[in-house]
Amino acid sequence: MLYAEFSGSPKPQTLPGAIDIDDLVTELEQSPEATEAIAKGRQWVAKNFYKDQSPSIAQLRLQKGWSQAELARLTDTSQPHIARLELGRVDPQVSTLKKLAKALNVSIATVVQAISPEDVQ
């Protein structure tokens, strides 16, 4: 059985033998084959679930096959901060926009549109 923790939420009851999803992914990513398969799965999600939407940070990240933790590492921030960015719960600084653009290999304008598509004309 798997469970996931969400920051800001009470910790769920853990059943005996349950494995945290982050721990499982970390364990699986020790294998190059599993790492590649997980990345391809993320790319599939981006292609199939985000295809009819305006670009988002999640979509740009998933197109690269990256987890939130990987994007956080590449931008020198935390995974919870990436999650808040993807949910639109923070107003990022220009330095964060630059780091995201560099990591995702897109323009700052693309990052701004991905963070707040309704504000971009």
User: What range does the domain containing 102 cover?
Assistant: 31-119
Average pLDDT over residues 66-85: 95
How big is the chain, counted in residues? Answer: 121
Question: Would 24 be classed as within a structural domain?
Answer: no
Give residue 51's pLDDT band: very low, low, confident or very high (50, 70, 90): confident
Arithmetic mean of pLDDT, 36-48: 88
Q: What does DSSP say about strands 19-20 and 2-3: parallel, antiparallel, or unpaired?
A: parallel
Question: How many folded domains does the chain comprise?
Answer: 1
In a domain, 3, yes or no: no
Q: Would you say residue 53 lies in a domain?
A: yes
82 in any annotated domain: yes
Query: Any idea what the CATH number is for the domain that residue 56 is in?
Result: 1.10.260.40
Tell me what percent of the chain is helix, strand and coil, each rounded to the nearest 5: 60, 5, 40
DSSP state of 66: -
Residue 3 has pLDDT above 60, yes or no: no
